[in-house]
Amino acid sequence: MNFLGIEAFLTIVEAGSLTKAAETLYLTQSTVSHRLKALEQELNTTLIERKKGHQVISLTPKGEEFISIAERWLALWKDTCMLQNTESRLSLSIGCVDSLNTYIFPTLYKQILNHEISIDLQVRTHQSGEIYNLLDTREIDVGFVLRQIIHKNIIIEPVLNERMVLIRRTAEDDFKQEFHPNELNSKNEFFLDWSPSYRAWHDFWWDSSKRPHAHIDTASLMLNLMDDPKYWAIVPISMANAFKKITDFKIYDVLEPPPNRIVYKITHRYPKPSSIASIKILDEYLKTFKCSAEFIKEQ
């Protein structure tokens, strides 16, 4: 396979048509079509259906399957090009869930970026399951996730542990410091599925067949959506502290609380040789970061 054919295919998929792909690549439509045809001939299969009068492209089943292969091939091609660079540079690709990237790890990332030897840092935001898959195919070097999923080639290590608290907007004459689950109406809840153990705790106290006020998977959405003191959510203390700094949220203890949130670092059992030095540097900064851990102390 060659770079030009892969580039043409992925651009067509992203753009949705040959015409738009040609505009994106600053090429003629016939050139893009020729590159796609050459790739299909090399693979001995049809990737994209050609239908007269249809502007929007339609992928064949083989084309759908080939997208992930093409993306991995392109990533490897870029890595190969980097090896040819005469300047030796360290690189590190991290996959991380949204709440960690937003509320915990920015300080850690700054330390890595300011390392005395320059490190090309790439940070990708994904769900935990996606991060395991990216690490398994070595598309990332390290992952930080919220759940354990067994993979034969992945090493799982707990690195952070923080308690869960309740937050809501500050109300007048609110002198409460804690809530018991029995006091909380699930109809006013903003629910985030933190982990299987958290979900089991949640289902013990509230009927799982009843819907919360909102079920979300991006923590930062709550800042704008929780606009009334009647709404509540259970979140890690790091996130609660961040919300309290930004606006008028109050933090409460939860009686008979859920399990602490555990953050796991995952690495490949057989890492890319080019990433070993960078991972060691990350581990050193992570040790210092864990010792300070100001983000998990109530403020």
Helix axes 3-15, 29-43, angle to 10 degrees: 120
Please give the pLDDT value at position 141: 96
Query: 233 and 110 in one domain?
Result: no
Whole-number pLDDT of residue 210: 85
Helices 106-113, 276-292: axis angle to 10 degrees equals: 130
Tokens of 288: 């210092």
At 214, which CATH number? Answer: 3.40.190.10
94 and 129 housed in the same domain? yes
| Domain end residue (candidates: 83, 110, 142) | 83
25 near 37, Cβ under 8 Å? no
**Of 23, 49, 83, the domain-final residue:** 83
pLDDT lower than 50: segments of the chain: 86, 299
Whether residues 156 and 273 fall in one domain = yes
- Predicted local confidence at residue 86, as pLDDT: 44
pLDDT at 237: 94
The parent domain of residue 200 ranges over: 164-259
Do 204 and 191 share a structural domain?
Answer: yes
Q: pLDDT at position 247, please?
A: 85
As given in the structure block, the two tokens for residue 102 are 């937003």
Q: Are 199 and 147 in contact (CB under 8 A)?
A: no
In the chain, at which residue ranges do the beta strands (DSSP E only) sit? Answer: 48-49, 58-59, 90-96, 119-125, 142-145, 154-162, 164-169, 178-179, 190-191, 214-215, 233-236, 249-254, 261-268
Clarify whether residues 211 and 137 are in a common domain. no
Number of domains the chain is built from: 3
User: How many CB atoms are located within 10 Å of the residue 244 CB?
Assistant: 16
Instruction: Enter the tokens of residue 165.
Output: 């608290």
| Pair 60, 46: CB distance under 8 Å | yes
* Rounded Cα distance, 35 and 51, in Å: 18
